[in-house]
Amino acid sequence: MALLSLRTGLRATELFSLTGADLQPEHGVIHLTGKGGRRELVRVHDPDGSLFGMLQNYVTGPSALLFRARNGKRIVTLSDTFQRVCTAFGLNKEDTPETMRAIFHTLRHSFASWHAQSGKVTLYELQTLMRHRRIEMTQRYAHLIPEDVAAKQSVILDMLSCVLKNTAK
């Protein structure tokens, strides 16, 4: 579940409701029930098929949940395994403030932060990837998007150069 969240930005509650029928590896798509009960589609970049291959190991039938509690029913809360692993890796030391501790939702924030830091997505594209309804939710990552002001200013120089060349003729 952690790898799937990190690769897709899915929330824990969205992972809990995934079924075999929600996976469409041939199209690189996962269908899910998002926040507010809306059906949504998430595109997954999986060129080598490793993520979908891993997920197929959890499929027991089209309507069966991928991730189940020990009693076979729907998971409603995460076990403490994720927190134990974070602690074992030294991410959640005793002196770490509660607001700075790694929790499962941190994976979703990492997904968004890494996309923003890459400089390969706009804020609007990040909003789409995160499936945020309001841009205000996405703006918390805006400071991570690299600004290449010099390159953007070169647009003006290029345009002026073109205009000057044309008027000189």
User: Cβ(16)–Cβ(74) under 8 Å?
Assistant: yes
pLDDT value of position 44: 96
Each residue of 90-135: pLDDT tens digit? 888 888 788 788 999 999 999 999 999 998 999 999 999 999 999 9
pLDDT value of position 169: 62
For residue 88, the one-letter residue type is A
In this structure, are 30 and 99 located in the same domain? Answer: no
pTM of the model: 0.82
> Helix (H, G, I), strand (E, B), or coil: what is residue 19?
strand
In this structure, are 49 and 129 located in the same domain? Answer: no
Q: How far apart are CA 2 and CA 25, in angstroms?
A: 19
In this structure, are 67 and 89 located in the same domain? Answer: no
Domain that holds residue 133: 78-169
The ranges of the chain with pLDDT < 70 are 149-153, 168-169
**What's the number of domains the chain is made of?**
2
User: Cβ(33)–Cβ(62) under 8 Å?
Assistant: no
Last residue of a domain, one of 77, 105, 129: 77
For 53, 87, 110, 146, the CA distances from 50, given in Å and listed in that order, are 5, 28, 20, 30
Strands lying side by side in the sheet with 29-33:
23-24, 29-33, 39-43
Q: Look up the CATH number of the domain holding residue 50.
A: 1.10.443.10
Cα 115–116–119 angle (5° rounding)? 95
DSSP 114-134: HHHHHT-S-HHHHHHHHT-SS
pLDDT value of position 93: 85
Torsion-angle region of residue 131: left (phi > 0), alpha (psi -120 to 50) or beta? left
In this structure, are 41 and 4 located in the same domain? Answer: yes
For residue 105, the one-letter residue type is H
User: Cβ(29)–Cβ(42) under 8 Å?
Assistant: yes
In this structure, are 139 and 92 located in the same domain? Answer: yes
pLDDT value of position 118: 92
Last residue of a domain, one of 60, 77, 94: 77
In this structure, are 61 and 130 located in the same domain? Answer: no
Last residue of a domain, one of 55, 77, 99: 77
In this structure, are 89 and 145 located in the same domain? Answer: yes
